[in-house]
Amino acid sequence: MSALLIIFAFVLTVTSTVVQFEKQEEYEGFLDMIDRENQKHDIIFDKSIYGTDRHGRIYVKCVEFNSTVSSRSRNIRCPMQRGSDAMPACLAIYDVVNDEIVQGCYSYQRELASQCTASPMCLMNIHKRKIGFCCCVGDRCNRKENVYYNGKTLENYLNDQENQLTF
């Protein structure tokens, strides 16, 4: 009986050997790198804010618009650039003097996370040079109805400005 157990243990040992690849060490290194990248993304990227395309690239959806070029806006994906530490975000810029609006993609460093809010709203500050800027991280958070200035949406603020000029 003990001889049968020894043969059985030998068969289990032989059949449970791990398949080794020719360049096993490189393969293990590659798998470790993939695991580290996946863990990093799981910690940093909130799936309710960011999307992932079919190639695994992380992006945020933003509105792209430039009032000096076109009267039409479009939705775009703002991807995280491979090999970069910059995070994708949406932006809105308003030139008060020239009454021009630009919306699109923006990248910021992770260390400066307070620079862009993870919010459905973009809170604009107008600087001394009469240029407003805001950035946000969220699904099309830079739409005109989501950009706020002086407690109003930028869209309402611009409509009020037009109404004041026509009277």
In-domain check, residue 88: yes
Contact status, residue 154 vs residue 94, Cβ threshold 8 Å = yes
In-domain check, residue 92: yes
The pLDDT of residue 72 is: 92
| Nearest C-alpha neighbor of 88 from the set 52, 40, 38 | 52
In-domain check, residue 33: no
Which residues, other chains included, contact 68 with Cβ-Cβ below 8 Å and sequence gap of 6+?
A: 100, 102
Structure tokens at 132: 């407003």
* Domain residue limits at 149: 51-166
The pLDDT of residue 125 is: 81
In-domain check, residue 8: no
CATH number of the domain that 132 lies in? 2.10.60.10
The pLDDT of residue 69 is: 92
In-domain check, residue 116: yes
In-domain check, residue 103: yes
In-domain check, residue 89: yes
pTM (whole model) above 0.85: no
Q: Please name the amino acid found at residue 136.
A: C
Task: Measure CA 70 to chain center.
Answer: 25
The pLDDT of residue 13 is: 44
The pLDDT of residue 41 is: 46
User: For residues 117 and 84, what is the distance between their CA atoms, to the nearest angstrom?
Assistant: 20
The pLDDT of residue 48 is: 74
The pLDDT of residue 76 is: 93
Mean pLDDT of each 10-residue bin along the chain, 167 residues long: 46 45 68 58 63 84 93 91 82 89 86 73 83 90 88 83 61
Q: Count how many domains the chain has.
A: 1
In-domain check, residue 143: yes
